[in-house]
């Protein structure tokens, strides 16, 4: 296993730079990376078909599409699948006109609900953690539900664009803060007017889609990276970032968006059951933990189960890759219960044991974490594995 410094990749390991990029920036996903990581991997191995088994909001898939490369994406969250699909679909002029006609029709009239404070919509919005009413000023809450109900009447691709626009504005229209691993209500936060930011968002999306090259839309589906419904030896590259070992439960962090997408509280529990065990709250069973994890895996069971899940996901990557194919796994080393976990090295060692060769760890960035009594440097890196 080789450790290689690649500081030029460091700034692309977060979603920050994607925010302003056309289409990539439509839905803020803190856990995402920037398309330049995918560019790097594509240049390195020149794939004809790419898989992202933890596709998130579709950075890999959209970058592949932009380069006319075929790709497949899988995610355990219906929200991620919906966002990835909608961002990487093809739209014609009629779809874009449909989306604009919708905002002209619905956002110019003043809904009775907004002025009276009474809800005139029949939809019931359930969220498992707290009532969504608590997350928004009353006017925004009513406007969001009125728009959501109007979107129900739409069909096909314009409907998806509109729904994505609405989901993407929830953080700004709410008084919620996504703080570490939890959602907090912050009464001092200024929520922006929902109808207006929705309108602006749809316009931005239509503008960014105009004249975009069509074709090479990925196939994106709901699934589990540990057991993929994908043919063996069918892709040339896996370019991905799994959930980090950080105790964060994304089905909660994005729970409001997920519940507005499906209008159901039960969905979050299903996502949680499918997800890789990167957070506490799932049943722990460390009995068949990978040997590379060592003592910390039994002392802190979540570490053992995380790497067990990652071993299963890596075995699937090995199965679906063609001979000569490469996997690029973007990870961050973690500090958990004051224990520094070298996620990249452990994944590299597991990779070698299950048959990958020429394992490299490309170190992009280092952060200083406070692990009392001392400070440690944690890395963000790309683990490269060759089949």
Least distance to ligand SAM from the beta carbon of 296, Å?
A: 21
What are the b/e assignments for 109-129, b being 16+ CB within 10 Å? eebebbeeeebebeeebebbe
Q: How far apart are CA 277 and CA 55, in angstroms?
A: 17
Is 224 a binding residue for ligand SAM by CB under 6 A? The answer is yes
Chain positions 338 to 377 lying near ligand SAM, rule: CB under 6 A, are: none
Is 318 a binding residue for ligand SAM by CB under 6 A? The answer is no
Q: How far apart are CA 271 and CA 288, in angstroms?
A: 24
Among 40, 250, 279, 356, binds ligand SAM (CB under 6 A): 250
Structure tokens at 387: 């089949």
Is 54 a binding residue for ligand SAM by CB under 6 A? The answer is yes
Least distance to ligand SAM from the beta carbon of 320, Å?
A: 13
Close Cβ partners of 191 (under 8 Å, ≥ 6 residues apart): 136, 137, 140, 172, 173, 174, 175
Cβ-proximal residue to ligand SAM, closest one: 56
Least distance to ligand SAM from the beta carbon of 217, Å?
A: 17
Half-sphere exposure of 378 (CA within 13 A, CB side): 22
What are the b/e assignments for 287-311, b being 16+ CB within 10 Å? eebbebbeebbeebbbbbbbbbbbb
By C-beta, is 102 or 307 nearer to ligand SAM?
307
Q: Which stretch in 142-150, 161-169, 274-282, 296-304 sits in contact with ligand SAM by CB under 6 A?
A: 274-282
**The residue count for the chain:** 387
Is 274 a binding residue for ligand SAM by CB under 6 A? The answer is yes
Least distance to ligand SAM from the beta carbon of 16, Å?
A: 12
373: cis peptide before it, omega within 30°? yes
Is 218 a binding residue for ligand SAM by CB under 6 A? The answer is no
- CA-based angle 68:70:74, to the nearest 5? 130
Q: Judge contact between 52 and 69, C-beta under 8 A.
A: no
Q: Which stretch in 183-191, 240-248, 295-303, 319-327 sits in contact with ligand SAM by CB under 6 A?
A: 240-248
Is 245 a binding residue for ligand SAM by CB under 6 A? The answer is no
By C-beta, is 106 or 278 nearer to ligand SAM?
278
Among 10, 32, 73, 218, binds ligand SAM (CB under 6 A): 32
Q: Judge contact between 193 and 107, C-beta under 8 A.
A: no
Is 75 a binding residue for ligand SAM by CB under 6 A? The answer is yes
The site for ligand SAM (CB under 6 A) is made up of: 29, 31-33, 53-54, 56-57, 59, 74-77, 80, 224-226, 241-243, 250, 274-276
């Amino acid at each position: 296993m080789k450790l290689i410094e690649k500081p030029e990749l460091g700034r692309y390991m977060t979603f920050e730079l994607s925010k302003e990029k056309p289409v990539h920036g439509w839905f803020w996903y803190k856990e995402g990376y920037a398309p330049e990581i995918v560019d790097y991997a594509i240049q390195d191995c020149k794939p004809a078909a790419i898989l992202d088994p933890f596709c998130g909001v579709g950075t890999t898939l959209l970058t592949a599409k932009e380069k006319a490369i075929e790709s497949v994406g899988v995610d355990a969250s219906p929200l991620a699948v919906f966002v990835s699909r909608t961002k990487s679909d093809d739209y014609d002029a009629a779809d874009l006109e449909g989306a604009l006609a919708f905002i002209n029709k619905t956002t110019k009239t003043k809904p009775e609900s907004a002025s009276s404070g009474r809800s005139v919509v029949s939809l019931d919005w359930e969220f498992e953690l707290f009532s969504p009413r608590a997350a928004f000023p009353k006017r925004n809450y009513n406007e969001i539900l009125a728009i959501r109900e109007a979107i129900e009447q739409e069909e096909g691709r314009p409907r998806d664009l509109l729904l994505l626009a609405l989901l993407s504005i929830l953080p700004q229209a709410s008084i919620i803060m996504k703080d570490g691993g939890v959602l907090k209500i912050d009464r001092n936060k200024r929520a922006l007017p929902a109808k207006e930011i929705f309108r602006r968002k749809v316009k931005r999306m239509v503008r960014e889609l105009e004249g975009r090259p069509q074709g090479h839309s990925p196939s994106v589906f709901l699934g589990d990276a540990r057991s993929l419904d994908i043919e063996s030896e069918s892709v040339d590259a896996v370019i991905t970032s799994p959930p980090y070992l950080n105790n964060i439960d994304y089905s909660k962090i994005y729970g409001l968006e997920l519940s507005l997408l499906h209008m159901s509280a039960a969905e979050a529990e299903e996502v949680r059951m499918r997800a890789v065990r990167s957070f506490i709250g799932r049943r722990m069973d460390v009995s068949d933990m990978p040997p590379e994890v060592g003592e910390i895996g039994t002392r802190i069971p979540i570490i053992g189960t995380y790497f067990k899940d990652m071993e299963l996901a890596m075995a699937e990557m090995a199965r679906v890759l063609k001979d000569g194919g490469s996997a690029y796994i973007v990870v961050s080393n973690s500090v958990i219960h004051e224990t520094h976990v070298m996620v990249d090295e452990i994944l590299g060692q597991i990779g070698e044991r299950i048959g990958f060769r020429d394992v490299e760890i490309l170190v992009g960035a280092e952060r200083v974490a406070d692990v009392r009594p001392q400070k440690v440097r944690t890395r963000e890196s790309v683990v490269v594995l060759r089949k």
